[in-house]
Amino acid sequence: MSQNVTAANPAAMERVKFKKQSQAKEIWRRFRKNRGSMVGLIMLTIIVLALVFANLITSYDAATAQNLRIKLDPPSAEHWFGTDSYGRDLFARVLYGGRTSLSIAVLATLSSCVVGCALGAIAGYFGGKVDNIIMRGLDIFMSVPDILFTMAVVFALGASMVNLLIALTLAYFTNYVRLVRSQILSLSDLEYVEAARAGGAGSARIIMSHIFPNAMGVIIVNTTLNVAKIILYESTLSFLGLGMPPPQPEWGLILSEAREYMRSAPHMLLFPALAIVLTACSVNLIGDGLRDAMDPHLKS
């Protein structure tokens, strides 16, 4: 149907494209005006660049090479963040640990988003029995607190990166199911969806090209804020011994090692904690800014 429109009326298609672009521009214009969010964006860019190009800054060996003669040294010109209990360079550990932490957070966010959106779309669009089964199942699923469920999964499958991803996905997809379902319920009553249906568009097409683009704003904001939540959650799991197995550097793991040496080496606590807090703060600032920028009626 819409292909016919494209062929018959290229000008209309042109207009749609133009409109789309200007909306993104409009959001960016509003986002840019928000000073806090811009600070967040700049901070996150610096952090991500530092993590991506970590091997240009310092070698991975520095993060794992042990040297007991310099253990628990305070920060110095040679070791910017000091050294840990094995004499490993803390700066390198924080840097490479950030790679692990952030990539797990991003991957887990994406996979929970995909799983949750798919289930939410099915529940919201088909309604009736399908909706009932999915939502009641979700109710039961959500009755097990996240942390306990994650603990059970890690207990059953063992601690590894893949299992951690599975556990995090299971803890965070529920959000999206509810969100997408409610979006679809409110959007599928609108006239343009009715029009698409009357035009003979199938369910999948309506969901993908008519409903999702309109629900996108809320999903993006939620996903951004989730990245920050997962960074905190994941580090907590590692701290409890349920996340990444040592000796691979990871923020939560570095912090849990710091616990015993807090008295003699508080720098072991300070720097990885700062890394987590700065990253989570900048992601949150961006998320808040996106929410305000995408929801113009909030600003009026």
Partner 1 sequence: MYRYILKRILFLIPTILGVVFIIFFVLNLTPGNPGRSILGVSAPQEAVDQLNEELGYNDPLLVKYFNYLKNLVLNRSFGTSYFTGQAVADEVLPRFGVTLKLSTIGIIISTLVGVPLGILTAVKQYSIWDYVPSVLAFLLAAIPSFVLGMVLLFVFALKLNILPSYGLETWKCYIMPSLCMAIPITAFNVRFTKSSMLESIREDYIDTARAKGAKERTVIWKHALKNALLPVITNIGLNMGGLIMGAVVAERLFSVPGIGALIVDRIAYKDEPVIIAGTIVISITFTIIMLAVDIIYAFVDPRIRAKYTKVKG
Q: Does 1 sit near partner 1 (CB under 8 A)?
A: no
Q: Pick from 11, 24, 140, 162: which binds partner 1 (CB under 8 A)?
A: 140
How far apart are CB 35 and partner 1 at their closest, in Å?
Answer: 13
Q: Does 42 sit near partner 1 (CB under 8 A)?
A: no
Residue with tokens 């088909």: 126
| CA-wise closest residue to 106 among 98, 94, 116 | 98
Q: Pick from 27, 44, 104, 153: which binds partner 1 (CB under 8 A)?
A: 153
Q: Does 43 sit near partner 1 (CB under 8 A)?
A: no
Q: 155-194 mask for partner 1 (x: CB under 8 A)?
A: xxx-------------------------------------
How far apart are CB 226 and partner 1 at their closest, in Å?
Answer: 14
Q: Does 144 sit near partner 1 (CB under 8 A)?
A: yes
Residue type, 109: T
How far apart are CB 72 and partner 1 at their closest, in Å?
Answer: 15
Selected range binding partner 1 among 65-73, 90-98, 116-124, 131-139, rule: CB under 8 A = 131-139
| CA-wise closest residue to 109 among 277, 221, 17, 207 | 221
Note every long-range contact of 43-49, with CB atoms under 8 Å and residues 24 or more positions apart, other chains counting: 43/278, 43/281, 43/282, 43/285, 44/279, 44/282, 44/283, 44/286, 47/98, 47/275, 47/278, 47/279, 47/282, 48/102
Which residues, numbered 197-236, are part of the site for partner 1 (CB under 8 A)? 228, 232-233, 235-236
Q: Nearer to partner 1 by C-beta: 2 or 146?
A: 146
Please give the Cα distance from 41 to 224 (Å, whole number). 12
Q: Pick from 146, 218, 245, 295: which binds partner 1 (CB under 8 A)?
A: 146
Please give the Cα distance from 13 to 6 (Å, whole number). 6
Structure tokens at 186: 């409110």
Please give the Cα distance from 162 to 196 (Å, whole number). 41
Please give the Cα distance from 12 to 24 (Å, whole number). 19
Q: Nearer to partner 1 by C-beta: 125 or 172?
A: 172
Please give the Cα distance from 279 to 271 (Å, whole number). 12
Q: Does 147 sit near partner 1 (CB under 8 A)?
A: yes
Please give the Cα distance from 186 to 215 (Å, whole number). 10
Asked if 120 and 137 touch (Cβ cutoff 8 Å), the reply is no
Residue type, 116: G
Q: Nearer to partner 1 by C-beta: 13 or 278?
A: 278
Which residues, numbered 240-299, are part of the site for partner 1 (CB under 8 A)? 240-242, 252, 255-256, 258-259, 262-263, 266, 269, 273, 276-277, 280-281, 284
Residues engaged in binding partner 1 (CB under 8 A):
136-137, 139-141, 143-149, 151-157, 228, 232-233, 235-236, 239-242, 252, 255-256, 258-259, 262-263, 266, 269, 273, 276-277, 280-281, 284
